[in-house]
Structures are given as structure tokens and as C-alpha cells.
Structure 1
Amino acid sequence: MTRSDTTFAQLITPHTRALPLLTLTDLRILETQASAALPAHTLMGRAGKAAASFLSEQITRDTSVARTRHKVWLIAGPGNNGGDALVMATELHKAGFAVELCMPIEVKPDDARWALNNARAAGIAISSTLPASLDEYTWLVDGMFGIGLTRPLEGVFASAARQLSQRTRTNKGGVLALDTPSGLDSDTGTIVGEEQSEGDAVRATHTITFIGAKPGLFTAQGRDLAGAVTVAPIGIDSSARTGVQLNAPDLFAAFLPSRDFATNKGSFGSLAVVGGDTGMCGAPILASRAALYTGAGKVHVALLGEGAPPYDPPHPELMLHAIDDLPLDTMDALAVGCGMGHRERATQVLHDVLSLDAPKLLDADALNLISKNPSLAAAVTARGVQGDPCVLTPHPLEAARLLGTDAPAVQRDRLAAARALAARFASVVVLKGSGTVIAAPDGRLAINPTGNAALATGGTGDVLGGIIGALLAQHLPRFEAALAGVYLHGLAADTLSAQGHGPAGLTAGELAPMVRTLLNQMFYPAPNR
């Protein structure tokens, strides 16, 4: 590669950076602008070279197989994604790798025809049929369709998607998707055609995505299908397009409070966790413990029901009260809904809480009460219109109730659902799930890259509510409190899983101590004094 080629092959690992996430519309605009300013075939040439450079590095790192014994199989679709695969195959062949390419239908666009002519001139072995087995290849490359696919994979391409996905599931070698796994909607993270039960998609171990990262790689099924994502900007600056961003500390670190020697518990706010009807005090106590570990100065638990313990033995720092005995109007923030129940008493408490001026997080039963009670819903919206937006933290079913639809409809376009909720309730919305979406009523939108299946257990949502509530009590703005809480909550699950404590069997209560550790390691290192 020339020096210029090396520059354009620069690769970015996105998970710790607040990168813009480019929709199909964004990408088409950037591609059109770049193509008008560059010589013909430049973008395809850069993309294919970047992919070849990435795979070459992966092969070099793999010391279990001699470099000369690696064999790469690529499949090219009929469009520009196929052209990227052809350039990649040619570059790998020139670098001395054994390469075979399957092209069931000849590529059609001019750029891709240029790539095909170069591949043929280089002597690349090209066939039109799938091999009976892919076991002899150490790497498989999906260059079938990439972005913009509007119909389900069919015929030989659907068969190829199933073969590539089987390789990933059996962990017998690498599967690299070019730009996006074929069959995946890059805007939504859903499988094209799945709602008609017709959809197939490639499940890759790695994805190298061009120009910029895409929302669908980080939410819904996209997180499972894309595997480890790497961005190849190929010389195009996408930083100005910030409609959707990947959540990262860059977005919230500056809002965390300083912890000077002269600070005291009053510096970090008082939080009240409101909930706990009779027999359901565990949820607010979980949330309250998480708030303690996230650095709130004082944490109160305001319980609606009877029979609660007088204090929390593992954490006597928590102050437990009957709801009527705690002056909620003196709190710096409120987290409302954990184990709250659905009785008339809960409705009245929520109505009273919504009239208070403190920042409010609404979760669980509070959200279900709002979905059934138009006056409560109107009160939430009114708070936001008046400049005091609530933070709503629904899972997909709760979101569906709030929107008057069903959970599958929410999951088909999680970004649109989060936007709709933020607009309807003039609130910051945390739509939980794989690739949690955080939306602000002013249009800001982020997708969170942390978290895993360890969070699929009871109580983890209560813990998240406590974390965000503690950050609100420490006077973080609503949107930034949500970003920070979701990021740390997911990263705690990732870190514990890496240590062998998950994903299976991790309990919600284990998250909070790890959140404390991460918070201090990342943002409050010990002073050198």
C-alpha cells in the first residue's frame, strides 16, 4: 500500500467513542458528495483495501494457524457490496493469501464491473456456485448486499447467509461482513423481511463498516449479527452528521460533579426512591442500594405499603420511611415506580409527585399507571413543556403501552419508538433492550454500546433506575444522567461477565458495586498527593 492508501485504510474501534451513527440517508448524501469530488472508483477501492488490511491483520494475529495455510472464501452480491468484496479479494491475493470468490450473479454497477475486471486480471478464482462445505476456509467474507437492502434474501444468497451464520454459531472460524451483515436493516437493526417470517441474515463474528458506523449495528438484532464492529472512514469526514450518536463518556463525563476535599454529603444531593407497595419492597431497596454506590449523598426509600423492614441490614445507610413521613419536596431528585403497584394509592402518589419541582425518573409501575391514566400522561407532558422533563425508562412492552401499540412494533424500529415517546411526553426516554436507545425531547438521540445478556434477569431495571436517580440528585442534566447511567450499568455487566460472573447467573445486586468501581476508575482516579 502507498502512504496515501494507508491513511485511508485507518480503522476505528467505536465502543469508547461518541461516533455519529449514519442512517441510509446520511450515507447516500456523503457518498454523493464524495463521488463528485473524487476520481472514479475511489471509494470502492478504498473500502476494499481497508477490508483487506483489516483481515490481513486478523490473520497475522492468529498464531494457531500458519499464515500460508489461511484460506479465505468470499461471496459477492450483484451490487457495490460485491464490488467491495472483489477489490478485497484482489488485494488479499496480491498479499499472498489463498483466495476464492463466489459470484452467483455478475456484478452490475460500473464501479463493481471495474473491480471484477481487476480481479479477473489478477487471476482470482471465481465460481458461481456455493461449495458443498466451507470447512476448509479459515475466514469467510460476506460481500452480498450491505446497506440499503429492501427485500429479504432469496435463493443462493439466503443459503449462503445460513452457511455463514452456522460458521459463526459453531465458532470454527471467522466470518467478516462488509459494511453490514447482509439481510440486516442498517437503520433499525432488524432483519429485512422478518415480520413476514421470510428473513435471513448473516450472523458475523466481525463487521467492517465503511464511512461511518450505522445505528442498526448497535441495537435490536444488529448487535448479535454484527459481532465486533470496526469502522473504516475511507477518507470521508462524517463528524458533522450528529443526528444519532454512539453513547460514550465523551457525551457525559464533563457533567459529573467534582469530588474536592471540601465537599460533603450535601454536595451530592438527596434522592428519594418512591415505590414498594405491600410485599414489593425489594425493588426500591435494590434501586436505592444502586444509588448509594453511584455516589448520591443521601438516599431515602419512601414506601407505599405495609410490613417493610425498619432498615436495610446490609446497607443501614439507607433511610426507610413510610411515604407520608418523608417530605418529598425537600429532595434533590426522585426515582418513582419500583414495586409501586397499581392501586389507587399509587395513582395518587404519582399525581402528587408530578407536581413537585425536583428532577424525576419514572420507571416500572409508574409507567404502566401513566399508560392507563390520561391525566397522569398529560401531567408528565406538561412538566416537560414547562422545562422540567421527566426521565422515562421503559422496556419494549412498557413503551408499547405508552404508545398504544405492541412490543413487536416497538422493536421493529427502536429509534423511531424512542423518538415518538420523547416527543409525546416531552421527556428524556431510555428505551431499554439490546442497544438501549436514549432520546431527548429536543431531538438528540444516542444508542448505548455496553451491556449483554447478563442484564436479562429480574431487578436489573431497578438498579438502572437507582443509578440514573443518583446522577440526577448530583445535578446532572436529564439527558446526560441517562447517558451516564445506561453506559455504566451496561459496562458493569460487561466487566463482570469478562471476569466469569456472567452472562449466566449474574444477579442484579452484583451490578452496583461494579458501577462504583468503574465510576472511580474512569472519572475519579486517586490524586497523587
Structure 2
Amino acid sequence: MKNLNQQKDNLSLPYSVWPVEAIAQLEREGADALGITLFELMQRAGEAAFDRIRTLWPDSQHWLILCGHGNNGGDGFVIARLAKAAGLTVTLIAVEGRHALPDEAQQARAAWLAAGGVVHDPAIDWPGDLDVIVDALLGTGMNRAPAVPYDRLIEQANRYPAPIFSIDVPSGLVAANGTTPGVAIEATFTLTFIALKPGLLTGKARDHVGQLDYHSLGLDPWLITQQPPIARFDAGYLSHWLTPRRATSHKGDHGRLLLIGGDHGTAGAIRMAAEAALRAGSGLVRVLTHIENVAPLLTARPELMVQELTASALDDGLEWADFIVIGPGMGQGAWGKKALKKVENSHKPMLWDADALNLLAISPDKRQNRIITPHPGEAARLLNVKVSEIESDRLLAVRRLVKRYGGVVVLKGAGTLVAEESGKLAIADVGNAGMASGGMGDVLSGIIGSLAGQKLPHYDAACAGCVAHGAAADAVAAHYGTRGMLATDLFSVLYLFVNPEMSNKKE
């Protein structure tokens, strides 16, 4: 079996991510700060990987180690030598390059040969009794489709019925942004070193990384003095944003949220967003919607205040609200356009989603009092590009969006990104495939709007909202699986994540 039956949150990952172009400098400066050589750092990487493989598959006897022509391959040579010394059977395949190996990798290769190891050509037939495949082919510098013979080795590894352990990054996955320009390893487990890389957490990462773990190689004392440019957030970070309420607090302390949307036939979107806001802790939630939706919404959720969207009701609502959410189910007709026109002239803080974003793409403007929450299709329209261009570099896309539109941008998807024009950038390391269903974005808008209305700064509200939303979906998936998950299923567990002090009571 290639999959491990282990919760991803059982592993400890740092709340920091470094761009790939900074990794080599981190390695050099970290090694210098601790007075060790880069070869010693490679030894530590090999030892960490060897120990982890033995822990994961203690009964494995025959390891296939695939080494590329770089320092990633050097790690593979270290692992091979340690495995051979432990009495395991090791088959090592190495890809030769046109240039000499880097010094550290050359030393590791020499040590493997000195220990009696053999280097096999990529064309050999693979043994039929392999227990583990170690992927040390391509490292963080890879940014194009794997060439021959790397592509063939990757395909063969993916077909073989043995678990794959990837070193630093699965070969073929671009560590900078999570794209796969060609074939890529489908790892069972990935152990990354020194720093998390963006491509391990967003884009196509979840199809290839498997279980992800991290090892600092002993550089912690130096790494904690550095300021990472990208943050990684998961459910464990929610308590930093969401503290217990004062015992004497009242509904007026927790935000007056106005939601606008739900044209003819689309009551569900605005209803889900509004209930999500209540479930996330808003003190008061008012909905302005099509008249035909008023009675059904009040019947379904009497805690809401629901009115027909009229000019006077909108004027009153804008004056009343602490925060505004507009777009869910709004449509792009005259009804929605008229409401959006009035809202965009308000100086109140707000969130635009769904059809508000489609209308924004037609008439772009930049403002700092707004959160926008596009999925890749909406992001493509906002930037006037193809969806494939958004997905080819999600980090670049979210930076372009925030530069053009200002405020805070949430680029939804696997490894949701949150960016602020000040330069802050975060990856929400939560969520699962069950969230690929209608209404999830409406629920997210309601949660983020609620937290912003509860006076969290917009960037923090966006980050906390994305994390609480994805963590709730993960809790549902843990009980029931991903297929058939509904957006409203999240309501049954969302309270556990917007009240982090309850986390020890999670079932």
C-alpha cells in the first residue's frame, strides 16, 4: 500500500515557509552559524531520513534508492550507506550528468562506494521484492518537466506497489509553486529539510506529497532568529487569533454583520453565508435579499434578521453594519449591480465574493477597506488571464491580485493563499477534497465576514476564517469521508474551531 493511515496533523510542521530561492542561502548561513560544513548538513539530512524510514516501515528489508545528479542525490547516497550498514539490502540507481556532482554529493557518493556499495544504471531491471522506494532524484531547483531518464524512473516508481519516501520534495513537483510541468512522484511520505517550501503546501502538492514532515537538521537556534516571508497556518494557530470572550460580553460586542445577495432562485448561497456568520460568532446578522427569499430564510434560521433588498433598507443596513458581505447568490443582473454600486461608495469595511467579483472584473477598482475571495476561475477573470495561468503559479497570482485590487485577497483552492498589499502572505494548511462542492465558498465568506465584524484585522480575519473553515471540513472528513460532504455539514463542528479552547473536547 502506498498510503499511510495517519492524520496529517499528527506531524509537527513550522509556521513558516521560505521561497525556494532563499533555501541555499539559509543552508549556508545556518551551517556557518553553527560551525558545521555543508557536507555535515547533508549527513544530518541522510540520517534524519534513514531514521524516519525505519520508523515508518520497520519490517522493510530491501530498499531501492533513486539518486539524481545533485545534492538531493547526495542525500540518497548517505541513506544508502546507512541502510547497508544496518544490514538491509540496498539497490541504488543513480542518474549521471554532464557535469561533476556538487562537492558534498561527490563526497557522499565516494563514501557509499567505499562502503562496498554499487551504483546501478537507470536502465537496469528493478528487483521484484522491494519494500520501500526512496526518491532522491530531483530537488528544490527543478522548475521544468523531468527529462530522460528521470521521467521514466518517476513513472516506474509510481507504478511499483511499494511506498515512496521523497527527500525534501517529490521529484517533478516544483518546490517554488506546487506545479507539475511533467510527471511527478506520488509520494507516500515526504521529509523536507531546513524550511518548508511553498510548493509542498499549495498547487498540486496534495496529489504528490503524501504525509509531510519537517526536520530542521539542528539549525533551530539560528532559524528562529530569521524572519520568514511566508506564513503557514493550521488549526493549532487559531488560539492566536481567537481568544475566549469576556463573561460580561453581549451581542453588540460581537459585530453587526450585513449580508447582501440571494437573487431570484439563489436563496441558498446567502442563507449559507449568513448562517456561517452566526456559527462563527457574529452578534447580529442582517440579510438583504430578494423578497421571495425572506420567508424561507426566516423559517430556516429565525436567528437571522431578513429583509427585502430595497434602496431604503440598503441605506439603513449600510449605516447599521460594522462589516458588509456582498455577492453570494447576487447574480449579475440589474438587481445586483444596483446594490453593488451603492455598497462600493461606502467607506465601511467589506468582503466581496461570487458575482460581486465577476462585476468587479468588468469595472476594476482598488481599495483598502475590502477583502476579496476569488476561486481560480474568478481570479482569472479579475486578472484577465486563463485559469491555467492562475494555477501555474498561485503565489504570483495572489500577489498580482492584491497589487491590482488592494486590501486583502484570499485565493481559494488546495492550499488557500491569503495576501495583503503590505507584503504579508500566508498559506492555509487545512482542507480536503470534500470541499469541492457547491456552497463552500459562501460559508467561507460568512465566516471571514463574521470574524472581521468581531474586530479582527482584515488579514487576520481572512487567515483565521480560512483555517477554521478548512479545519471544520477536515473534522467532518475524519468522521464521514470526503465524498458527499455538504457545505452545511461544517456547521456541526465549526464551533470547535472558532472556540479553540474547546479543542481538547473534540471527538
Give TM-score scaled by structure 1 length: 0.87
- 8 Å Cα contact 1:17-1:250 kept in structure 2: no
The aligned residue for residue 223 of structure 2 is 238
Secondary structure at the residue paired with 1:433? coil
Contiguous gaps of at least 5 residues in structure 2 = 1-7
SS at match of 1:342: coil
User: 1:368 — aligned with what?
Assistant: 358
Q: Is the 8 A contact 1:268 1:474 kept in 2?
A: yes
- Aligned residue for 2:491? 512
Q: Distance in 2 between matches of 1:516 and 1:494?
A: 14
Instruction: Identify the residue that residue 18 of structure 2 maps to in structure 1.
Output: 22
In 2, Cα distance between equivalents of 1:266 and 1:526: 29
How many pairs align?
487
Q: Could you say if the C-alpha distance between residues 91 and 244 of structure 1 is closer, same or farther in structure 2, counting changes exceeding 3 Å?
A: same
Residue 523 (str. 1) matches residue 501 (str. 2): yes
Corresponding residue SS for 2:156? helix
User: 2:428, 2:467 within 8 Å by CA — same for their partners in 1?
Assistant: yes
Q: Cα distance 1:97–1:201, how it changes in 2: closer, same or farther (>3 A)?
A: same
Q: Which residue of 2 aligns with 1:137?
A: 130
SS in 2 for 1:299: strand
1:18–1:250: 8 Å Cα contact kept in structure 2? no
CA–CA distance in 2 between the matches of 1:18 and 1:422? Answer: 25
Q: Is the 8 A contact 2:266 2:329 kept in 1?
A: yes
Q: After TM superposition, give the deviation of residue 300 of structure 1 in Å.
A: 1.5
Per the alignment, do residues 177 and 13 of structure 1 end up closer, same or farther by CA in structure 2, a change over 3 Å counting?
Answer: farther
Equivalent positions of 1:57-72 (< 5 A) are: 57-60=55-58, 67=59, 70-72=61-63
Instruction: Give CA-to-partner distance per residue, 1:227-249, whole Å, 9 cap, x none.
Output: 11111111234341321111135
1:408 corresponds to which residue? Answer: 388
* Alignment partner of 1:467 is 2:417: no
SS of 2:299's equivalent in the other structure is coil
Aligned equivalent of 1:227: 210
User: Is 2:113 the counterpart of 1:113?
Assistant: no
- Residue 175 (str. 1) matches residue 172 (str. 2): no
- Give, in angstroms, the shift of residue 285 of structure 1: 0.2
Q: What SS class does the counterpart of residue 328 from structure 2 fall into?
A: coil
Deviation at 1:39, TM superposition (A): 3.0
Matches within 5 A, 1:70-469: 70-105=61-96, 108-133=101-126, 135-167=128-160, 172-191=161-180, 194=181, 199-236=182-219, 237-239=222-224, 240-248=226-234, 253-304=239-290, 306=292, 308-309=294-295, 311-324=297-310, 325=313, 327-328=316-317, 329-373=319-363, 377-378=364-365, 381=366, 383-384=367-368, 389-469=369-449
TM-score of the pair, normalised by structure 2: 0.91
| Cα distance in 2, alignment partners of residues 74 and 134 from structure 1 | 12
**1:482 has 2:467 as partner:** no
The 1:16/1:369 distance shift into structure 2, 3 A limit, reads farther
The corresponding residue for 1:5 is: none
CA distance in 1, matches of 2:492, 2:12: 21
Structure 1 equivalent of residue 482 of structure 2: 503
Q: How many angstroms does 1:35 deviate by? A: 5.1
**Alpha-carbon distance between aligned partners in 2 of 1:494 and 1:392, rounded to the nearest angstrom:** 24
* Cα RMSD for the two superposed structures: 2.2
CA gap of 1:526–1:418, structure 2 versus 1, over 3 A, is closer
Give how far 1:17 is off.
5.2
Distance of aligned partners of 1:135 and 1:444 in 2 relative to their CA distance in 1, 3 Å threshold: farther
Map of 1:4 onto structure 2: none
Q: Is the 8 A contact 2:66 2:137 kept in 1?
A: yes
> For 2:22, what is the secondary structure of its paired residue?
helix
Q: CA deviation at 1:313?
A: 2.6
Q: CA deviation at 1:16?
A: 6.4
Could you tell me how far 1:205 is from its partner in structure 2?
0.9
Alpha-carbon contact 2:260-2:289 (below 8 Å) kept: yes
Task: State the secondary structure of the residue aligned to 1:74.
Answer: strand
**Code of the aligned partner of 1:370:** L
Q: CA deviation at 1:354?
A: 2.3
AA of the residue aligned to 1:102: I
Provide closer, same or farther for how the CA distance between residues 133 and 493 of structure 1 changes in structure 2, counting only shifts above 3 A: farther
Cα shift at 1:257: 5.0
